[in-house]
Copies of this chain bind each other. A is one copy, B any other.
Amino acid sequence: MKELLIQLDADRKIPLYEQICRFLKEEIRRGKIPPGEKLPSARALAAQLSVSRSTVDLAYGQLTSEGYLNSVPCRGYFVGDVSELYRLEHLEREPVHKRQADAPAFRYDFALNGIDEESFPINIWRKISREVLLEENSALFQLGDPEGEWSLRTVIAEYLHHARGVNCRPEQIVMGAGNDYLVILLSLLLGRDTRIAMENPTYRSAWNCFRSLGHSVAAVPLDEAGMDVERLEESGASAAYVMPSHQFPMGTVMPIRRRLQLLQWAAGREGRFLIEDDYDSEFRYRGKPIPALQGYDTHDCVIYLGTFSKAIAPGIRVSYMVLPERLLPVYRERASVFSATISRIDQSVLEIFLREGHFERHLNRMRAVYKAKHDLLVKNLRELSGILEVSGEHAGVHLLVHFRNGITEQEAIARAASAGIRVYGLSEYIIGEMPERGRNTVLLGYGPLRMQEIEEACRTLKQAWSALDSEAQRQKGPEPEA
């Protein structure tokens, strides 16, 4: 073939072999060098271009790997058939760096899923991280157990036993990067055809996840003690997702009698399960935490879900579930192929955090922090006791406000919003039609706000909602004398 007119530029940042590659690719693409054509030998081209033989070898090797050239032993390099390249034009799209829209600006946000950022035990976390990130721990960089590290599961089993009355062996624990991931695994264990009952209103995220996974989900009404067991029976569900320690969003604590009824429901037929989501049981401001439902389970039918999202931070993504013994072979068969989702470094930091007692101290501190916020919020809201009442308090990091006198959820939210304050409607958590008694209810989370902010936000809310009250009164006409 004719001599190749390659212009090499030794000063350019692109390596010489790549300049050769690019030139040849372009020539082949444009059909300047037709398929089947033999290229000059590497030695000849190197001499022509005054580059080393290995530079040309590298370029030819690369082009062969990519299919532009075929190498025929003892004969040389030939141009391949890349005719499709003429038709498939390379679409160059420059990445667009569009910043995502931030959340609308509220002065104060009574967010339900946040934590007190300032209380994250950052110094201890940093110190432990530094200790863990040492060369002697290099095994941490290899892939770990799909279920989570054994030593961490051991510490969690001990913690669950003494703090939550959960009876389990480490073998029963499966760690996962967040509650939603565990719901995915559960879906595999129970089978997609399993109809799931959830409390109504409920934790929307789990509801959405089950739905996305293709489950049929039944919304079973709550009464003041928790999920209505008769309606559960009627629902045809074979698994019930409940939050006995502190129902989200209603804040109900399920009494022992209802717990036992649920356990009896589960034991009543083969293949029934209770999924106990114990998401924020650590925070209780009256009496000691109520033992988990799992601890009363004698029929091996409770799946216990726990998380460090509320107790430490949602950002760290560590949850776990405790499987009943009879689900262990099912787990091994259907779900153990999925690799671990939590970094081993993070697991190791958490393990030390638990083992050295930092977690317990952190919980005690957080209980005090949240209790102070809780008390302040409740005290402020009580000043509005003429127009609202509070429920779901004394536990968790949110409470409910029920308006009297016909103020609706929507009005309360809108009035708060126009004063720069975000509160949340109960209706977001209700499946299907809103029952009469829920139409006047909003939720206030006090985890992320500072004391000072709660104080200020309440001052504003009192004005906003009182004004609303007078308006509602005006529209209804004067209140009859008592």
Contacts and interface: CB of A to CB of B under 8 A. Distances in A.
A302 to B, nearest CB: 11
B126 A141 contact: no
A140 B337 CA distance: 31
A85 B255 CA distance: 13
Nearest to A59: B287
Contacts of A184: 184, 338
A287 B98 CA distance: 35
Interface stretch (A5-13, A310-318, A450-458): A310-318
B181 A341 contact: yes
Contact of A138 (B122, B157, B177, B257): B122
B142 A133 contact: no
Contacts of A205: 337, 339
A115 B141 contact: yes
A179 B334 CA distance: 17
A105 interface: no
A75 interface: no
A422 interface: no
Interface in A182-236: 184, 188, 192, 205, 208-209, 212-214, 225
Q: How many copies does the complex hold?
A: 2
A208 B337 contact: yes
Interface stretch (A88-96, A369-377, A433-441, A459-467): A88-96
A355 to B, nearest CB: 13
A286 B143 CA distance: 28
A191 to B, nearest CB: 10
Interface of A: 17-18, 21, 58-59, 61-62, 64-68, 80-82, 84-85, 88-93, 95-100, 113-115, 117-118, 120, 122, 125-126, 129-130, 133-135, 138-145, 150, 154, 157-158, 161, 167-171, 177-181, 184, 188, 192, 205, 208-209, 212-214, 225, 253-261, 263-264, 286-288, 290-291, 295-298, 309, 313-318, 334-335, 337-346, 448
Given A66-B256, A188-B212, A346-B346, 8 more contacts: A82-B260, A98-B170, A122-B138, A142-B315, A205-B339, A209-B338, A317-B342, A317-B343
